[in-house]
Structure 1
Amino acid sequence: MAEQQAAEYGLQEARQMLQEAFAPWVLDLGLSIEALELDPPAGSPPDWQPGATLRMAFSERLCRSGGVICGQALMALADTAMVFAVCAGYRGFRPMTTVDQTTHFLKAVASTDVIADARLVRLGRTMSFGRVTLLGASDRKPVAMVSSAFAML
């Protein structure tokens, strides 16, 4: 996918990027982009960070025995959400690859969508770093915390 101009990057471009730039199996996760935050809202704290909010629709296909959403699906959701947070920081697509992802699972999540709140911690020329909080959509309680690093290509 060609690099986007800074003034053009928004939800429509991000949704198109999801369809065009990711492997087909990622699309099978049932992801949707709910929000991109490129600019701080009025009255935001000084430590505000660009980010993206994605939703993974609940599906039995994502569950292991016992109806619990598997960790692999949660980690793929977090990784994908972080790509969009980095793109929000750059205001457009840049080729990148994950070089580190650490996931701390806090509690099992079952029978609900999962929300990924991805935030850019540091945007660099060659490396970018971020954090993702995964929340159960029904109760908005955290189910996992993820930190990640991306090499910018």
Structure 2
Amino acid sequence: MTTEPVMSRDAVAAYLDEVFPQIHHGGPGPVVAAVGPMSAVLRLPYHDRHVRPGGTLSGPAMMMLADVAFYVALLVQLGPVPLAVTTSLSFNFLRKPARRDLLGEARIMKLGRRLAVGEVLIRSDGSDDLVCHATGTYAIPAPEKNAVS
């Protein structure tokens, strides 16, 4: 497989809005900030919907950011693959995030015909310190099974 992206930042952002309109329900969802070969950076705007007791951004918000960032990196590389699904995600929460936007930097480490393995590094905007490190695997359906009925 080629490592050259097949979808631009704008194209993948429009695709996400089309197939996952609920992602922005109740407040801002993740925003595609940048894409590149085997990679994507998403921004999760700081919003009350993502805050847990104690005033910090919640684990589920970081989990969502990681999953969407990995999916975007995959879409950018393969094009619209609506039936690609997460098969595993593992999280290490490293420190309390600041009360700022979160940035999730996804990188595909191995892209095969049926599986993609990658990682997502999550930081508070303006900081180099990781707040979360996620690793995961996505299953990629056979091309003939990738059409949505």
Matches within 5 A, 1:2-17: 9-17=7-15
CA deviation after TM superposition for structure 1 residue 8, in Å: 6.0
Matches within 5 A, 1:36-75: 36-38=35-37, 50-75=38-63
- Look up the match of 1:46: none
AA partner of residue 123 (structure 1): L
- Look up the match of 1:96: 84
After superposition, give the CA deviation of every residue in 1:101-140 in whole Å (9 maximum; x if it has no partner). 0000001113100000000011111111110000110323
Query: TM-score by structure 2 length?
Result: 0.84
After superposition, give the CA deviation of every residue in 1:79-103 in whole Å (9 maximum; x if it has no partner). 000001112222x121300010000
CA deviation after TM superposition for structure 1 residue 61, in Å: 1.7
CA deviation after TM superposition for structure 1 residue 14, in Å: 0.7
Residue 114 (structure 2) pairs with residue 126 (structure 1): yes
- Look up the match of 2:96: 108
Matches of 1:146 and 1:118, distance apart in 2: 9
Q: Which moved more, 1:112-121 or 1:14-23?
A: 14-23
2:75 paired residue among 87, 92, 114: 87
After superposition, give the CA deviation of every residue in 1:2-43 in whole Å (9 maximum; x if it has no partner). xxxx8862111111012012260x3245211110103xxxxx
- Look up the match of 1:139: 127
1:133 and 1:7, CA in 2 relative to 1: closer, same or farther beyond 3 A?
closer
User: Does structure 2 retain, via aligned residues, the 8 Å contact 1:67–1:110?
Assistant: no
Matches of 1:7 and 1:37, distance apart in 2: 6
Query: What secondary structure sits across from 2:68 in the alignment?
Result: helix
Query: What secondary structure sits across from 1:148 in the alignment?
Result: strand
Matches of 2:112 and 2:93, distance apart in 1: 28
CA deviation after TM superposition for structure 1 residue 53, in Å: 0.3
CA RMSD of aligned residues (A): 1.7
AA partner of residue 33 (structure 1): V
Matches of 1:113 and 1:30, distance apart in 2: 11
After superposition, give the CA deviation of every residue in 1:29-69 in whole Å (9 maximum; x if it has no partner). 5211110103xxxxxxxxxxx20000000012211111111
Aligned length: 135
Matched residues, percent identical? 26
List structure 1 segments (4+ residues) > 2 angstroms apart after TM superposition. Answer: 26-30
